[in-house]
Chains A and B, each alone.
Chain A
Amino acid sequence: MRLLTQLTVTLFCILALPASAETVLNRSGGSDPSSLDPQKATGNTAAPILNELFVGLLTTDENGRMTYGLAESHTMSDHGLVWEYKLRDGLKWSDGTALTAKDVAWSLQRLMLPKTAARYAQFFYSVKNGRPVNAGQAPPESLGITSPDDKTVRIELSAPNPLLPQALSSFSAMPSPRHKVEELGDDWTKPGQFVSNGAYVLDEWLPGTRLTLKKNPNFYDAQNVEIDTVNFYPTQNLNTVFNRFRAGELDAILNFPPEQISWIKENIPDELRISPTLGIYYFLINAKKPPFDDIRVRKALALAFDREALIDRLLNTGVIPAYSFVSPVVEGYDVARASIADMPMADRIADAHRLMSEAGYGGNNPVTFELAYDTQEENRKIAVAMKSMWAALGFNAELMDTEFRNLNRKARTRDYDIMRWAWFSPFNDASGYLNLLRTGDPSNYVDYANPEFNALMNQANSISDQEQRNTLMRQAEQILMEDYVIIPVFHYVSRRLVKTYIDGWNENARNNYLARYMTVNRPD
């Protein structure tokens, strides 16, 4: 009885409190960000946080499209080799210090220094002397990134790079506060000392528990930022994330256990957001190893694999069956689908049988190989299904479940037969995918070497007319898709759960959901 009274009293107190003026957004992040230093950070869990904290020359708008950030205009000259960005007036760091073009140029130079050991320096290798400076073979001053005056950042390239603006909008090109970095060294990212220039500034970071951002009053667009506090909760266990969302501890989560999809569709359909994204799930075929050096065997694999059955019956997660390497959401690009896409399944199976017997396999002469994937439920399901579909054709796939790091090693050392892979393009452009398969690219794990493909891609990479580039890249993709060195399975979709009281969370291919564009109308 006493407890009940106390409960009532406390409840009354809570309800009687004036509604808090502060708006808070509670989001989940996959794991802790690797770093809050824009030049050093890596991985896709750092991106959403750095995008709130910092603004580069270019940034994204409320619909995830690229727009001006610190810059208010830019010019391009000398056949796309020289780019100049003009900064807005009155820019400040969160501590009130003036932010100039010198800070931006200094940060980009810092990205390229060997000592910084920045992973994404490689996105700026097209900058004049970019690669030699990063390798420590050229003096830092020779780098083609300068600031002629306090309002201008000048970037000289050694070859035209149509993707430069996209690279400049990524977090590695965001400015670091030079005055703080030089004063505090690596400690500048600690809460209390942290200085940023975006809509938010770091308030608290408890690794494994919570990362809190507070509104930055010195942000150039601060008057339009409505949410005062953004909490990121690192949560790797998908079930835990999902349960926290259901309990109301989180307002938005970036993923949930796939097996919950039917429960979600039934119980909280308004909170489910599914939208295509820039990722592809595919299999690599080691075309150097017999019998996969025979294109007929590779094509039979691609033919006999029923993507629609896999996706509709087994996965049921809204992903899009893939017959192209490039994602269909890439802007302005019309994907080249493999010719097998339009064949009815029965014809495909018949064709696969024919190819296999022509190649001398199947029946009494099965093809035994290792099918490798990293330990994840979704990968296991797909591998089990593929094994069963391929078995009918005389393929004997031995499943190899391994850790992600070991799978990476297998890819790098070509120690595989067929393995699962995935790629999320850093650019909203077909070259973000197709460049991976150029001969000599470090990510060309299948050692694809088609001179025709290479020539088309090199040509596309050296011109700046987007329409012309897309035509060339489409031709290249067409060639790639008929060589069957990779088996696309599906184009990823982002699966989000977002409470209905959040406005301004607009789905977009690049997965940019910035709190500065959102409002929270939490019901009491």
Chain B
Amino acid sequence: MALLAAQRNAHEALMADAAAIKGRSLWEDAGRRFRANKAAMAGVIVLGLISLCAIVAPSLSPYTIDDLDWMNIGAPPSLENGHWFGTDDTGKDMFVLTWIGARVSLIIGVMTTAVALSIGVIYGATAGYVGGRTDNAMMRFVDVLYALPLLFFIIILVTVFGRNIYLVFLAIGCVEWLTMARIVRGQTLSVKQKEFIEAARASGAGPAAIIGRHVLPNVVGPVIVYVTLLVPTNILVESYLSFLGLGVKEPLTSWGVLISRGANSIESAPWLLLIPATCLAITMFCFNFIGDGLRDALDPKDR
């Protein structure tokens, strides 16, 4: 019962938000500006294609991720034998590996960012809205965590609890929410002074409703921009973990895993490095273009 009510409330809030966004010509302007930015739009299209490949491409290949082709071990890319991207040193098809790797890398990028986003937004908005001593204490805690050497922390986490993919999500996410919290807090502080918040308060809205309906929609801009930068950063963090032997493990694979393996045979089998590295680089470019485009679109004076 309570659950249903909560769901309904959430729904209402969402609808209200959508209406609020629609009503603001600011967002329409931003959308127009974004669509006019060629680099950003190219980024969106290419990223869409990569995501599409990550979903459907593995099933287009005659091979699966578990198949070992004993006749073609470490074979270069070829159209004839169906190994369009060649095979790796165990005879697995690189085309399948690359796109499964894309799937895992993108999911890691998105999921870790989602974790960081949820923690960071709630934490930052609360601190900023409540203000005063609470804000001070909460932000001091963030300062403390900032002093933790992040990669070291992740390495210890992963060695302690084993190399589980969900743990990788959590570990990276838990570490990356700090900046998010700072951004959201800063924005909340400035929004809080605005008249419409006063008006909402005067009309009897509770703090949760005010944060949800009025504060958050107004901090969306910088948060979106930061998210588009955080996703590629986290994909890279995973690849560093893979290089150190602490990333995702068999039978899963990721671009980071493929790249660090490929780097060992750059002279004898360059395709093992070049293909996943190129995919990773293109994805990084896309996210950065999109991020730039969004920032320009949402912050007109910066154009």
Q: Do chains A and B touch in the complex (CB under 8 A)?
A: yes
Which residues on A sit within 8 Å (CB–CB) of B91? 313-314
Whether the Cβ atoms of A402 and B264 lie closer than 8 Å is no
Of A263, A377, A391, A406, the residue contacting B267 (CB under 8 A) is A263
Whether the Cβ atoms of A239 and B264 lie closer than 8 Å is yes
Q: Which residues of chain A in 359-385 are interfacial with respect to chain B, using CB atoms and an 8 Å cutoff?
A: 375, 377, 380-381, 383-385
Q: Does A260 contact B (CB under 8 A)?
A: yes
Q: Does B68 contact A (CB under 8 A)?
A: yes
B161 CB, min distance to chain A CBs, angstroms: 11
Contact residues on B (Cβ < 8 Å of other chain), bracket = 20 to 34
B265 CB, min distance to chain A CBs, angstroms: 5
Which residues on A sit within 8 Å (CB–CB) of B190? none
A402/B162 contact (C-beta < 8 A), A314-B90, A391-B66 known = yes
CA distance A51 to B265 in the complex (A): 34
Whether the Cβ atoms of B268 and A259 lie closer than 8 Å is yes
Whether the Cβ atoms of B264 and A257 lie closer than 8 Å is yes
Interface string of A399-413 (1 = CB under 8 A from B): 101110010000000
Q: Which residues of chain B in 77-101 are interfacial with respect to chain A, using CB atoms and an 8 Å cutoff?
A: 89-92
CA distance A377 to B90 in the complex (A): 10
Q: Does B249 contact A (CB under 8 A)?
A: yes
Q: Does A459 contact B (CB under 8 A)?
A: no
A473 CB, min distance to chain B CBs, angstroms: 37
Whether the Cβ atoms of B73 and A406 lie closer than 8 Å is no
Interface string of A96-135 (1 = CB under 8 A from B): 0000000000000000000000000000000000000000
Which residues on A sit within 8 Å (CB–CB) of B269? 259
A317 CB, min distance to chain B CBs, angstroms: 12
Whether the Cβ atoms of A314 and B261 lie closer than 8 Å is no
Whether the Cβ atoms of A403 and B159 lie closer than 8 Å is yes
Of A239, A263, A401, A403, the residue contacting B250 (CB under 8 A) is A401
Whether the Cβ atoms of B89 and A259 lie closer than 8 Å is yes
Whether the Cβ atoms of A309 and B261 lie closer than 8 Å is no
A253 CB, min distance to chain B CBs, angstroms: 16
Of A263, A375, A385, A403, the residue contacting B68 (CB under 8 A) is A385
Whether the Cβ atoms of A384 and B68 lie closer than 8 Å is yes
Interface string of B58-69 (1 = CB under 8 A from A): 000000001110
CA distance A387 to B250 in the complex (A): 11
Whether the Cβ atoms of B159 and A380 lie closer than 8 Å is no
Whether the Cβ atoms of A309 and B70 lie closer than 8 Å is yes
A381/B89 contact (C-beta < 8 A), A309-B70, A402-B163, A406-B162 known = yes
Of B67, B70, B90, B267, the residue contacting A381 (CB under 8 A) is B90
Which residues on A sit within 8 Å (CB–CB) of B66? 387-388, 391
Q: Does A462 contact B (CB under 8 A)?
A: no
Whether the Cβ atoms of A401 and B163 lie closer than 8 Å is yes
Which residues on B sit within 8 Å (CB–CB) of A259? 74, 89, 264-265, 268-269
Q: Does B251 contact A (CB under 8 A)?
A: yes
Whether the Cβ atoms of B159 and A313 lie closer than 8 Å is no
A400 CB, min distance to chain B CBs, angstroms: 8
Closest to A391 in B: B66
Q: Does A450 contact B (CB under 8 A)?
A: no
Which residues on B sit within 8 Å (CB–CB) of A313? 70, 73, 91
Closest to B268 in A: A263
Which residues on B sit within 8 Å (CB–CB) of A399? 249-251
A309 CB, min distance to chain B CBs, angstroms: 7
Closest to B244 in A: A375
Whether the Cβ atoms of A375 and B245 lie closer than 8 Å is yes
Closest to B70 in A: A313
B264 CB, min distance to chain A CBs, angstroms: 6
CA distance A309 to B91 in the complex (A): 13
Which residues on A sit within 8 Å (CB–CB) of B250? 380, 383-384, 399, 401
Q: Which residues of chain A in 259-273 are interfacial with respect to chain B, using CB atoms and an 8 Å cutoff?
A: 259-260, 262-263
B222 CB, min distance to chain A CBs, angstroms: 40
Whether the Cβ atoms of B264 and A314 lie closer than 8 Å is no
Which residues on B sit within 8 Å (CB–CB) of A383? 250
CA distance A399 to B91 in the complex (A): 17
CA distance A377 to B249 in the complex (A): 12
B240 CB, min distance to chain A CBs, angstroms: 15
CA distance A153 to B92 in the complex (A): 60
Closest to B66 in A: A388
The 7 A-B pairs of least Cβ separation, nearest first, read: A401-B249, A399-B250, A375-B245, A388-B68, A259-B265, A384-B90, A381-B90
Binding site for A on B (CB under 8 A): 66-68, 70, 73-74, 89-92, 159, 162-163, 245, 249-251, 261, 263-265, 267-269
20 new A-B pairs (CB below 8 Å) besides A260-B268, A385-B68, A401-B163?
A: A257-B264, A257-B265, A259-B265, A259-B268, A259-B269, A263-B268, A313-B73, A313-B91, A314-B91, A375-B245, A375-B249, A377-B261, A377-B264, A380-B250, A381-B89, A381-B90, A384-B68, A384-B92, A401-B249, A403-B159
List 9 A–B pairs whose Cβ atoms lie within 8 Å, in order of A's numbering.
A239-B264, A259-B74, A259-B264, A260-B265, A314-B90, A377-B89, A383-B250, A384-B92, A399-B249
